[in-house]
A and B are shown apart, each in its own frame.
Chain A
Amino acid sequence: MRTVVPFWRDNRIVPILVQLFFLVLVILLGGFFYNNLQVGLDKTGMKLGFSFLNQSAGFSIKETSIQYSPADSYGRALLVGFTNTIKVAFWGIILATILGVFVGIGRLSSNWLVRNVAAVYVEIIRNTPLLVQLYIWYFALFMQLPKIQDSIILPGSIHLSNRGLALPWLVSTSGTRIWLAFFLVGIVAGFLIYKKQTEKQLITGIDRYPALWAMGALLLSLLFAWLITMDKPFLLTVPTVDGLRYSGGYRLSPEFATILLGLVVYTGAFIAEIVRAGIQAVSKGQTEAAKALGLGHSLSLRLVILPQALRVIIPSMTSQYLNLAKNSSLAIAVGYPDFFSVSGTTLNQTGRAVEIITLVMVAYLSISLLTSLLMNIFNKRMRLVER
């Protein structure tokens, strides 16, 4: 006999009910907050709106990646802050990954000193607050460097003082664009030729010198670039001390250097542990198999262990990248004008707390979502391909 199942025991309906219930809960909670906000705003007689973004900002930011002057709008100022945050996050992620991978491998080294130095680094950095580390980098390291007049000059005319770091840098000439275009063409052509020659070599078994061919192609295209421009690709400028500042060269402010160094060192320690765990997750048989095939230590690491470890590493790495991007908001503690710092100033000048906090949340959310998206794509590509 077929019994009628009441809906609260129906396997198809119950999950939907649960979902509905949570939806209602979320909406009610949101409504409560919104109501709270409205009551608060009514009480002070303020209105929401983003038109203030077009008003002239009036404060200046010197460290910028895009053109900015105090006469520009608040929106532009926030954009400057946003690019500064992106700049720190971008370089931070790259450098932290490099540092982390090396330290992570170092922790598994057979060399006693390397292994223990790596372990001490990881344990100290991982277990102290980032803000404290930033203060130490800024006040105990960069501020203690000599004044600009007595800059330390390292080989290659790298100037170091508590005004920051100045490096020799390339400046473009009239022919830079043409040089760059030919360089890119050379790279692409070299790559294609390399591929073709390797293919032929595999089929015929005769050495076709693919690397040599590729180099030749690149050199040829660079020769063309020189013939056309009859100019150098770049000029080198060397920093010099000019009164209170450096002129020429590329200047890294102590504020940017601090926040970058702080984030790289801090996140690097976490990445090191992830890398170590990832390597150890690859079964020992793989290492032995690689050895049996006659692969050396670094080759077996590069060709056998790391590709397999990556599958374990990437998901945890993503969250470290997100942490790094969000931790960059501590930049204000050391005076770097990142997005959070600029939005704080804007908030203070305009008093638009709700709008600006919303903007801040949206900005960091989009950075995080973008990072996640890229890492997920990467993760998908690295997944085990079953044959």
Chain B
Amino acid sequence: MRKKAYLLVILLLLVTMTLAACGQDSTQEPTQTTTGNQSSRSTLEVVKNRGYVIVGVNSKLPGFGYLEPDGSYSGFDVEFGRALAAAIFNDPNAVEFRPLSAKDRLTAVQTGEVDVLMRNTTWTISRDTSLGLNFAPTTFYDGQGMMVRKDSGINSLEDLDGARIGVQTGTTTELNLTDHMRKLNVDFEPIVFEDLDSVVAAYEAGSIDAWTTDISGLASRQATLADPNAHKVLPEVMSKEPLGPVVREGDDQWYDIVKWTIFATIEAEELGITQGNIDSFMNSDDPVFRRFLGVEGDLGTNLGLSNDFTVNIIKSVGNYGEIFDRYLGPDTVFNLERGLNDLWTNGGLMYAPPFR
């Protein structure tokens, strides 16, 4: 009896040992091969094999990235994700949106959880150089603002002495706020929340006197407050906030694809090509149009895409101006001015390098 028990134990031990040994082999080898693979296989290949592109977005910022009650995503940033899908697959719906918090978003890009991040993310030198990230062209030039109640008697940042100011963790706003207030020598109490919803809820309850984020974000949230007219955004702009897509460093082809997808929408607006009138340009004799639309030349194939990727983008989501107007323009509750985000020809900063 004793003997049998021993035998059984030893047998079990041997089995687990061999299994574990195999387990190690099989876990360690694939990692090496996958890492080996990943450096040889480009993001574009991975995305094409998968059949869709994974885009990290905001799900709580109406107008930019918002999860609709029916489960779909909408917004300015989201639309550029669709544009990217259209450029690669000629299908704006070949995309999976991943809602990310401000805190987790950059890690999600670094680890490859998302192929590209389009979540109102500010381009800064430290993010660009020390985090292993690359920033695609800015899609929205913004600045940081401060919202207060109209009846609070606060008319400038200096009036905020002693105030409790709400801010979301993991944002450039958290730092800008401190920098700016130190400069003005204003003593304030930052209340840092994980979630923008909590910031706004605490502000509406009156526990905090003001809250700060990018002006576009303030406008977006103001529209959802109980009484939007009871609040105002202070005139001071505290910072420059160029917001744009982010990709992981080390894959230049993928970086180029994201870059030129954005530029294509801007170039289309400059050329006057819209979702509605694009077909009329297809037979144009102008070489500028012919090259841009892929009728001649091989601009698309050089990127690893089809030659008519610009056509696919414009047909799916329209040009930059159309995207802007659809989500943020005068017909929306946000009614944002184009301002810096107008074309360079109209005094804005939107400028695409030549398509040639």
Residue of A44, A255, A332 with most partner-chain B CB within 10 A: A44
Nearest CB in chain A to that of B132: its residue:
A44
Q: Does B127 contact A (CB under 8 A)?
A: yes
A45 to B110, CA, bound (A): 11
Q: How far is the CA of A345 from the CA of B38 in the complex (A)?
A: 31
B250 interface hit (Cβ, 8 Å) = yes
Task: Render B54-88 as a binary contact track against A, CB cut-off 8 A, 1 for contact.
Answer: 00000000000000000000000000000000000
CB-CB < 8 A to A344: which residues of B? 103, 169-170, 194
A335 x B193 contact (CB < 8 A):
yes
Give the complex CA separation of A349 and B176 in angstroms.
12
Nearest chain A CB to B183 CB, angstrom units? 11
CA distance A62 to B201 in the complex (A): 21
Query: Is A226 located at the chain interface by the 8 A CB criterion?
Result: no
B20 located at the interface, meaning its Cβ lies under 8 Å from any Cβ of chain A in the complex: yes
A39 within 8 A of B: yes
CB pair A58 B201 closer than 8 Å = no
Shortest B185–chain A CB gap in Å is: 12
**In the bound complex, how far is the Cα of B27 from the Cα of A259, in angstroms?**
42
Residues of A close to B20: CB separation below 8 A? 21, 25
CA distance A17 to B28 in the complex (A): 24
Tell me, rounded to whole Å, the shortest Cβ–Cβ distance linking B254 to chain A.
Answer: 14
Cβ of A6 to closest chain B Cβ, rounded Å: 10
Which residue in chain A gives the minimum CB-CB distance to B31? A36
Q: Chain A: which residue is nearest B166 at the CB level?
A: A335
Q: Which residue of A lies closest to B191 (CB)?
A: A335
Cβ distance B148 to chain A, nearest Cβ, rounded Å:
11
Residues of B within 8 A of A (CB-CB), count: 56
> CB within 8 Å of A: which of B282-305?
none
Cβ of A139 under 8 Å from chain B: yes
Contact of B250 among A44, A255, A353 (CB under 8 A): A44
- B163 CB-CB contact with A under 8 Å: yes
Are A332 and B194 touching (Cβ within 8 A)? Answer: yes
With A and B bound together, what is the CA distance between A59 and B205 in angstroms? Answer: 25
B164 touches A163 (CB 8 A): yes
For A36, what are the chain B residues with a Cβ–Cβ distance below 8 Å?
A: 31
Neighbour of A70 across the interface among B103, B170, B178, B192, CB < 8 A? B178
Interface string of B20-31 (1 = CB under 8 A from A): 100010011001
The answer to whether A32 and B28 touch across the interface, beta carbons within 8 angstroms, is yes
CA distance A35 to B13 in the complex (A): 28
Residues of A within 8 A of B202 (CB): 139, 143, 335
B236 at the interface (CB under 8 A from A): no
Q: Is B214 an interface residue, CB under 8 A from the partner? A: no
Residues of B within 8 Å of A365, CB to CB, are none
* Number of A positions contacting B (CB below 8 A): 51
B201 contacts A32, C-beta separation under 8 Å:
no
Tell me the smallest distance from the CB of A146 to a CB of chain B, in Å.
9
B195 touching A21, Cβ below 8 Å: no
Q: Residues of A contacting B182 with CB < 8 Å?
A: 60, 70
**Chain A residue contacts of B10, Cβ below 8 A:** 8-9, 14
Residue A361 interfacial (CB < 8 Å): no
Query: In the assembly, what is the distance between CA of A21 and CA of B107, in Å?
Result: 35
B256 within 8 A of A: no
Cβ–Cβ < 8 Å partners of A163 in chain B: 164, 207
Who on chain B is nearest to A69 by CB? Answer: B182
| Bitwise interface map of B from 184 to 202 toward A, beta carbon under 8 Å scored 1, else 0 | 0000111111110010011
In the complex, number of A-B residue pairs with CB atoms less than 8 Å apart: 134
Contact code string A7-29 (vs B, CB < 8 Å = 1, else 0): 01100001001100100010010
B131 at the interface (CB under 8 A from A): yes
Residues of A close to B158: CB separation below 8 A: none
Which chain A positions have C-beta within 8 A of B13? 17-18, 21
| Pair A44/B248 contact, Cβ less than 8 Å | yes
Distance in Å: Cβ of A36 to nearest Cβ of chain B: 6
Smallest distance from the beta carbon of B231 to chain A beta carbons, Å? 15
A58 and B179 contact, CB distance less than 8 A: yes
- Residues of B near A63 (CB, < 8 A) are 189
Q: Which residues of A contact B249 (CB under 8 A)?
A: 44-45
- Which single member of B9, B171, B191, B198 contacts A333 (CB below 8 Å)? B198
Chain A, residues 334-355, CB within 8 Å of chain B (1/0): the string is 1101000100110111110100
Taking A32-B28, A36-B31 as contacts, is the C-beta distance between A43 and B250 under 8 angstroms? Answer: yes
B131 CB contacts on chain A under 8 angstroms: 44, 46, 351
Which chain B residues numbered 25 to 47 have a C-beta less than 8 Å away from chain A? 27-28, 31, 35, 38-39
Query: Which residues of A are found within 8 Å of B9, using beta-carbon distances?
Result: 14
- Tell me which residues across on chain A come within 8 A of B162, comparing CB atoms: 242-245
Supposing A25-B20, A39-B31, A70-B182 touch, asked if A351 and B127 sit within 8 A by C-beta, the answer is: yes
Q: Are B205 and A144 in contact (CB under 8 A)?
A: yes
Docked-complex contact A59 and B111, CB < 8 angstroms:
no
A341/B169 contact (C-beta < 8 A), A40-B111, A44-B249, A59-B178 known: yes
- Bound CA–CA A30/B17 (angstroms): 18
Q: Is the CB of B31 within 8 A of A254?
A: no
A120 at interface by CB-CB < 8 Å: no
Chain A residues with CB under 8 A of B39: 43
Measured in the bound complex, the distance between the Cα atoms of B123 and A255 in whole Å is: 32
| Residues of A close to B28: CB separation below 8 A | 28, 32, 35
Q: Hey, which chain B residues are within 8 Å of A9, CB to CB?
A: 6, 10
Known: A332-B169, A341-B192. A348 touches B103 (CB 8 A): yes
Chain B 86-124 against A: per-residue CB contact (8 Å), 1 yes, 0 no? Answer: 000000000000000011001100110000000000000
Contacts of A341 in B (CB 8 A): 169, 192, 194
Determine if B170 and A142 form an interchain contact, defined as CB atoms under 8 angstroms apart.
no
Name the CB-closest residue of B to A40: B111
Q: How far is the CA of A214 from the CA of B47 in the complex (A)?
A: 81
13 cross-chain CB contacts under 8 A: A14-B10, A28-B24, A28-B28, A32-B27, A36-B31, A40-B110, A44-B131, A44-B250, A45-B249, A58-B178, A242-B162, A245-B162, A345-B192
For the complex of A and B, the 4 pairs showing the least CB-CB separation, nearest first, are A44-B132, A143-B205, A62-B189, A351-B131
Given contacts A18-B13, A351-B127, A351-B130, could you give 10 more A-B pairs where the C-beta distance is less than 8 Å?
A: A36-B31, A43-B132, A43-B250, A45-B249, A142-B207, A143-B201, A147-B206, A162-B206, A163-B164, A244-B209
